Structure 1
């Protein structure tokens, strides 16, 4: 099954250059293969109907569709627990095609976190350059989480 969507030029360029990263600020920056896999999972769930009642529970500011999931949302990053960022190709009238949205799979939080994929990447790079994330044992953590992990490791080694 093909996704049937045209990827925006900035996402396409990123995939051609890097094709994702397993070590990303929000978990994993998805490869083309993983975007397709994740999209198919959400699409199958949508078609099977478990979201029908959940759409009413979604919280949005009017730029994102009030839906649990929409076919025009391309997963671009995930945290491994069902939450992640999606490229929104089907925004509401106040939204912008290509905006990046956060999707929480448990509570229905749907909000715009960047105006475009390029803006989102820039924000991630700026956070990395500002030292907001640290690498610890080969994984990226927020500064606080990295310090907590180091302290736990130190306590466990006593």
Structure 2
């Protein structure tokens, strides 16, 4: 059962539990922002023209992202997306807006694919991909609201400027949070404890480390 098949109150409780277990496993300053409000989420969804999954809403009602590095405040938060920070809602919308127009550039789709095959649309960009993180170079981990024929609405994927082979990391944000914690516990992923170098150490590619619950290729 994924987060879209449970009641919102249950999703909220499970996201809170998963988030706290994850953050307890991370060394370093998370620089978490205060919660977003229901009004903030309503504005964001109106801007996106689509409803966010319950687990994404629950996470933002817990914290509206993490501090973002800037010239005015050049600090790195200990990012929860295997080292990448959770974007505040206003930065989610800003990043999403940067992709406007690329969906129509079909010649840029020529090299696009997904792992597993058919789970993500073979596109360079689509407005159904909502960035929840960024690496500072135009690449994201986010949720997919317009998946391929084998995919699931709300699945967590990679996409961006350098990402032709989109990876499905988890069938939901809740599952992703749980899996990151499990990978830290197993030693497959090691959070950075250097505030000047936020990159985490992974024992292998994300596509090999993550095992999306319920995702099969047969």
Task: State TM-score, norm by structure 1.
Answer: 0.79
Alpha-carbon distance change, 101 to 143 in structure 1, aligned in 2, over 3 angstroms: closer
Determine whether 1:7 maps to 2:45.
no
Are 2:87 and 1:30 equivalent residues in the alignment?
A: yes
Superposition CA RMSD, Å: 2.1
Deviates more, 1:14-23 or 1:70-79: 14-23
Secondary structure of the structure 2 residue equivalent to 1:63: coil
Partner of residue 111 from structure 2, selected from 57, 70, 82: 57
Structure with higher RCO (Cα < 8 A, 6+ apart): 2
Residue of structure 1 in register with 2:200 after alignment: 142
In terms of fraction of residues, the more strand-rich structure is 1
1:39 matches 2:39: no
Query: Across the two proteins, how many residue pairs are aligned to each other?
Result: 141
Q: Which residue of 2 aligns with 1:121?
A: 177
Which structure 1 segments of 5+ residues have no match? Answer: 145-158
Unaligned runs of 5+ in 2: 1-45, 68-76, 203-218
